[in-house]
Each structure stands twice: as structure tokens, then as C-alpha cells.
Amino acid sequence: MKKFKLCLDIIVLLLISGLLYVFTFKEQEEIIPNSSHVITITNWDKTSSKSKVLNTIKAQAKNQNIQI
């Protein structure tokens, strides 16, 4: 019974650490609203909000006739 409990504890620990890794890895990507495209954020000093950055991208895409 102790071996079974130890095995379950290890499985739960691996699941939790795997989920944490996935969520922190996904933090570097941002999905453009109403689109299936993903923006990968490589360097951001956080002086602008996400909504401001996305609005700027949309405005530039509209000015240059690029469909997002």
C-alpha cells in the first residue's frame, strides 16, 4: 500500500509540474483576438499594455492592407 501511495504522489507531482511548465511556457505567446495567429513575445519592457500593442498591430496591418 505504501508503494502505491508513493507512486500516486509521484504521478501527481509530475502532473502538477508539467502543467506549471506548460502555463509558463505559453506566457511567452499571445493569441491575436478574433484570429488563429499567435504572436511570440521575445522582449517586452511592459511600458505599454497588451491591448495598446495589439491595437497598434491592427492599425498597422489595416494601413498596409494586411489581413490578420
pLDDT tens for each residue of 52-64: 878 888 888 888 7
Asked whether residue 30 is domain-assigned, the answer is yes
Alpha-carbon torsion angle 27, 32, 35, 40, nearest 10:
-50
Asked whether residue 36 is domain-assigned, the answer is yes
pLDDT tens for each residue of 7-33: 999 999 999 999 888 777 665 566 666
Asked whether residue 6 is domain-assigned, the answer is yes
Asked whether residue 16 is domain-assigned, the answer is yes
User: Residue 26's domain spans which residues?
Assistant: 2-63
Asked whether residue 68 is domain-assigned, the answer is no
14: number of Cβ within 10 Å: 10
| Number of independent structural domains in the chain | 1
